[in-house]
Structure 1
């Protein structure tokens, strides 16, 4: 599997937001990252 280095095909949605996938492991990790996740939801289209 080759690592992707060309991101020229990344497109903005109609609202101008990039898609962002947030993956967390444990509950304490979610609690620590809650503020960051909240900001991400404001600026990105979170999946």
Structure 2
């Protein structure tokens, strides 16, 4: 759920890190780390699906 929330705000809604942080009620650093981890998980999932 947190992965989806941060990715939706950052990439679908095209919000910056500060705006995403405010919308989710977290710090900017939290947005950065969640975004990084969520993208890693997404890449791993998509990569597995393509094999």
**TM-score normalised by L of structure 2:** 0.27
Greater length-normalized contact order (CA 8 Å, ≥ 6 residues apart): 1
**TM-score normalised by L of structure 1:** 0.28
Which is richer in strand?
A: 1
Greater C-alpha Rg: 1
Which is richer in helix?
A: 2
